Structure 1
Amino acid sequence: MALRDTNIDRLRDGMVDVAIVGGGINGAVTAASLAGRGASVALIDRADFGSETSQESSNLVWGGFKYLENYELPLVYKLCESRNRLMKAYPDNVAELSFLAALDDSSPYPPWFAALGATAYWGIGKFRTRPPKLHSAEAIKKTEPVIDTDGVRGGIEYRDAYLRDNDARFVFGFVRSAIEAGAAVANYVDLVDAQRSDGHWQLGLADLESGERLELKARTIVNAAGPYVDGLNSAWGVTTEHRIVYSKGIHLIVPRLTTTEHQRVLAFFDDSGRLFYVIPMGIRSVIGTTDTRTDDPRAGVTDDDRAFLLDQINKRLDLPKPLTTDDVIAERCGVRPLVVPNSGGDRTDVDWTSLSRKHEIEVDRARSVISIFGGKLTDCLNVGEEVADAVEDLGLPLEKDTGTWYGEPTSETRDVFYRQARLMRLDDLRVRPDVEPLSDRLWRRYGRRAFAMLEAIRSDPSMGEDIFGGTDYLRVELYLAASTEMVTRLEDFMRRRSKIEQVVPNADLGDTEGLREVCDILFGDEAEAKLNEFLAGPYGQPGPGQSVAAPSAAHTSDVRSD
């Protein structure tokens, strides 16, 4: 954890232009934007980066097709623009994806009308994806035989995009950009108190790993606490025009339900008329999401949530046998912070079912606090740019935005990497037909850092060996994670830097030789304590419908990025 220790040293008794509280997508992209434009920045999170709402998304990068229902055309246009920017900036990480919507009696729209909407959506997105299609029930059955087309009137196929890896890893990409631009960044650091005096903020921080008390001064605070933004503002005496209400969305991860030769999302309207999806994740499928009103920012998956989703998907797919909780490998539960006017009253006075995932940014000039309300992964670049504008408006000059704080390396750099990978026959290290080439995976995950991995494998072939069964993580990746990805607890790697915990049953994440080597590489002398901490937590326990079984390497081969 040397990288984290170095950053803790920089926070201790430091002075920065901007302190950002919250390391989800909003905080991470803000840190990258500001540091990339010359500001001195500190980013802290009381847990790991992207460890709450930002790790519970559908892994989709989309323009908000469903927001057309409420005629939110400006928002849809803005989100489509954001999607197009991300697809251009991250060609290896954000890929176009087909959505096949089967419309039955629960659908509020006939197929022809939905096709008109899909065509309008394509136009709003400036025709940057393949055109939509109108399908008959027979064509839907031919395209995806798993769909039960009894009662299906027809459907549409349109295009959006998705993250090839997981959402939390995408968030960490911005954290890495911030670090490389000079930001002081640390996870598991709690904001204990904050006082403003003499034109700056005096922040009391607690390192939750060591227990040490830290002091940090900042000219400006960015409140990027997601579901907790209102609570922090209240503690700081900041009054805003907006506030947050909560919507809970869950996903269930099960064995792959759709054809594996094509990456395609299936879309359905549930019995209440709301959209839900079957989303590919390697040879797993992700079912969701739901949309449930909640007052608890830490809400979890309930038995009723699980039963509802399983019932809805069993009604719409022609499966050999109905899905049960025994088929659920992992679950995701995200509490979305939705933006509403701060007009008084309690949080039940809002028609939250019509709320979109827009964002609002407010500035308290007197207290020099910038608050970010709402937002989503698709809109992240806009958030980073708008917060930078707000910082400049508060009197802190920034360098010109050249766009270098986001995106993948140049195509020329990519070509050099692939040429070197071919010369050393990197892809020959993997011969299984069900996994993508190593060169593709390493470049997408690590960009320029993948060059050092080639050299490490060239010098020591054991660095190119799989570790922890067949999870498709090389030994060299673990060493890189240990030195550059601020993995502080085992869960950080298993759940967020990778998605192993999401696609491998908990029963197979037990105390194995491979997992012990993972801990040894990541944590050194602390390996035993970190392993025990992990096994004592929820990720070391049986998942829904699972019982503790002997670890099986056969299951772990299911981990794929694409």
Structure 2
Amino acid sequence: MDVLDRPSVEQLQGAHFDVAVIGAGINGAAVARDAATRGLSVLVVDKADIGSGTSSWSSRLIHGGLRYLEHGELRLVYESLHDREKLLHIAPHLVTPLPFVVPLYKHNHKPGWMFRIGMYLYDTLSLRKSVPRHRRLDRKAIKVELGSLNPEGLSGGLRYYDGQVVFAERLVLETLISAVEAGARFLTYAEASVAVSGGRVTGLKVHDQLTGQQFDVHASVVVNAAGPWVDEAGAGLQLDRMIGGTKGTHLVVDPFPGAPDVALYYEARSDNRPILVIPWNGRYLIGTTDDRFEGDLDATRGTDDEMDYLLTETNTLIPEAGLTRDSVLFTYAGVRPLPYRPGVKSGNIPRSHLILDHESIGGLISIVGGKLTPHLSLGTETVDKVAAVLGRKLPASRTAETALPGGASDWPAAARALRRELAGHDYTAAVVDRLLDVYGTRVRVLLDLVKSDPAQGALIGSGDSALLTAEVTLAVKAEGAVHVADILHRRSMVGLLPTLGLDVDQAVAEVAAPLLGWSAEQVGSEVAAHREYVRLRLLGGVDRAVLDEAGQPVATS
């Protein structure tokens, strides 16, 4: 069952990799998957957990990028629409179609006819798509379909489809699992810097945060895919600044009066920035902001001003919503790894990714930008460049046609079969739904664990946030989790429920302890670290009481 097993220092020092990748977000995972499946030896190193950076803090959309059309980024839109279609097929348990409506208001900075032209272009660039084409809504139709929208200045709307990945963390994880199944190695919680000799990379200098060991890893090519940390990972190499990130903040609320059954993409009345109200995980995700960020990349969080801005704009769009700060369950914020463009308005910075080589340092490739949606194209394009550096002719990439580990060619049929098997256990509908949404066909691995040891089927916690003991076992033994926060927030995903995993963290730590060799003192430290993570990253500007497993309030400020 060991898939994401942590290699020893001796194993890494004794190997020579074709390519070493810094960063286990969606960019790094995509590069690793493409490279490994095309026959290259690969190592991925990240200073934190898999997918714990920007990949976890997005709007969780798999979309073509409608707004990028106005900036002329046609290639990005085409790539994104192409990859969206591929992801709907290779990861149908994670990526699903989502209807959108763009309300056409008088205050919009672009007239309605221009939006309509954009929609026709959007359809044209995705001719072979499996989702419906866009549809125009006149004033009467939009009132029927979305009667809760503010009628002031509303002339109609446009309805179209894009995609959603509810659990982006699992998309990154399964991409990396696929890479490892093809032969890649990975190491998390290890800081890496580029090692150079004679003007050429020789590999990585690594500091393992779990063991304290420092060592060198040899590689012919290094791909710096560290997202907003790209400049940090390249520190000391005398390279020009590459990243000029902008911060995006989101908030999560329960269903509210007038809440739409589609995603709304509208322009804020106060500043015409794009705002999204998205049905997500049984609740609503509202975002986002787009402001320059020069602070601590490891401590981004929502602020009071950002919360007030998003709430005000949502209440203006849907007057009966009545959302207040008390409505907010949690917030999160991340930094987009956009190219450094001093003096350019944040909304005008190009969103297309850049794959850079460096004349001064042979064998170093840096990725600037990148998004969840076009990661398949980015991975292939990067590996093509790696192959050129290596002087190797590689087989064509097959990542866009190969299902991820939890996928299935006929996911609805597979899901029905798994649901029937899960019905033989005493699990609530909410738990069953989460298992299928999170693990896809990898639910089979959980069922096999329970079959071999019925104790693995025992539930930890109760209600919607209950999880199987087998989920902890799977997370640690086969999915690379080493901390409680990894298990709750990027494996089982119960950390993204309103309880934020605080009602089960103590019990999860106790189950994980024998698997990870924790003492009683370490169990306490893990629980404390998880609660600090929640306080720092998910409760920015939130005042509500959050309870632990004993029903006692947890300190959140």
Same fold (TM over 0.5): yes
Match of 1:482 in 2: 476
One-letter code of the match for 2:378? V
Question: Do structure 1's residue 381 and structure 2's residue 376 form an aligned pair?
Answer: yes
Alpha-carbon distance, 1:206 to partner: 0.9
One-letter code of the match for 1:269? E
Aligned partners of 1:509 and 1:540 also within 8 Å: no
Q: Secondary structure at the match of 2:68?
A: helix
Q: Secondary structure at the match of 2:154?
A: coil
Aligned partners of 1:169 and 1:498 also within 8 Å: no
One-letter code of the match for 2:392? P
Match of 1:454 in 2: 447
Alpha-carbon distance, 1:118 to partner: 1.6
Unmatched 5+ residue regions in structure 1? 341-346, 554-562
One-letter code of the match for 2:486? D
Deviates most, 269-278 or 228-237: 228-237
Question: Do structure 1's residue 330 and structure 2's residue 330 form an aligned pair?
Answer: yes
The equivalent position to 1:509 in structure 2, one of 478, 502, 522, is 502
One-letter code of the match for 2:527? N
Alpha-carbon distance, 1:234 to partner: 4.9
Distance 1:196 1:76 in 2: 39
Per-residue CA deviations over 1:328-367 (Å, capped at 9, x if unaligned) read 1121211112125xxxxxx532243212321111223652
One-letter code of the match for 1:253? V
Aligned partners of 1:252 and 1:330 also within 8 Å: yes
Match of 2:534 in 1: 539
Distance 1:257 1:462 in 2: 40
Q: Secondary structure at the match of 2:205?
A: strand
Question: Do structure 1's residue 148 and structure 2's residue 174 form an aligned pair?
Answer: no
Match of 1:318 in 2: 319
Distance 1:73 1:413, change over 3 A: closer
Aligned partners of 2:199 and 2:362 also within 8 Å: no
Match of 1:445 in 2: 439
Aligned partners of 1:194 and 1:236 also within 8 Å: no
Distance 1:280 1:430, change over 3 A: farther
Question: Do structure 1's residue 171 and structure 2's residue 165 form an aligned pair?
Answer: no
One-letter code of the match for 2:174? G
Distance 2:22 2:548 in 1: 42
Match of 1:356 in 2: 350
Distance 1:195 1:402, change over 3 A: closer
Distance 2:426 2:261 in 1: 22
Alpha-carbon distance, 1:431 to partner: 7.3
Alpha-carbon distance, 1:220 to partner: 1.3
Q: Secondary structure at the match of 2:395?
A: coil
Aligned partners of 1:16 and 1:42 also within 8 Å: yes
Number of positions where the alignment pairs a residue of Structure 1 with one of Structure 2: 538
Distance 2:367 2:121 in 1: 30
Aligned partners of 1:245 and 1:352 also within 8 Å: no
Aligned partners of 1:421 and 1:439 also within 8 Å: no
Match of 1:391 in 2: 386
Distance 1:318 1:297, change over 3 A: same
One-letter code of the match for 1:175? L
Q: Secondary structure at the match of 1:97?
A: strand
Distance 1:110 1:545, change over 3 A: same
Question: Do structure 1's residue 500 and structure 2's residue 494 form an aligned pair?
Answer: yes
Q: Secondary structure at the match of 2:85?
A: helix
Distance 1:8 1:301, change over 3 A: farther
Deviates most, 199-208 or 482-491: 199-208
Distance 1:419 1:160 in 2: 25
Alpha-carbon distance, 1:213 to partner: 1.5
Aligned partners of 1:25 and 1:54 also within 8 Å: yes
The equivalent position to 2:421 in structure 1, one of 412, 425, 430, is 425
Match of 2:197 in 1: 196
Aligned partners of 1:189 and 1:206 also within 8 Å: yes
Per-residue CA deviations over 1:365-385 (Å, capped at 9, x if unaligned) read 652111111111111011111
Aligned partners of 1:39 and 1:398 also within 8 Å: no
Deviates most, 78-87 or 269-278: 78-87
For residues 99-178 of structure 1, what are the structure 2 equivalents within 5 Å? 99-126=100-127, 128=129, 129-163=131-165, 165-178=166-179
Distance 1:259 1:431 in 2: 32
Question: Do structure 1's residue 255 and structure 2's residue 250 form an aligned pair?
Answer: no
Match of 1:226 in 2: 227
Distance 2:428 2:146 in 1: 25
Aligned partners of 2:99 and 2:161 also within 8 Å: yes
Distance 1:465 1:63 in 2: 42
Q: Secondary structure at the match of 2:518?
A: helix
RMSD: 3.3
Deviates most, 483-492 or 365-374: 365-374
For residues 25-36 of structure 1, what are the structure 2 equivalents within 5 Å? 25-36=26-37
Alpha-carbon distance, 1:284 to partner: 1.4
Unmatched 5+ residue regions in structure 2? 552-557
Alpha-carbon distance, 1:435 to partner: 6.6
Distance 1:45 1:438 in 2: 28
Alpha-carbon distance, 1:138 to partner: 4.1
One-letter code of the match for 2:169? A
Per-residue CA deviations over 1:28-68 (Å, capped at 9, x if unaligned) read 11111111112111110111122211111111011111112
Per-residue CA deviations over 1:511-557 (Å, capped at 9, x if unaligned) read 7664445544764534614533425513168931123545489xxxx
Q: Percent of aligned positions with the same letter in both sequences?
A: 29
Distance 2:122 2:409 in 1: 34
Alpha-carbon distance, 1:254 to partner: 1.0
For residues 279-294 of structure 1, what are the structure 2 equivalents within 5 Å? 279-294=278-293
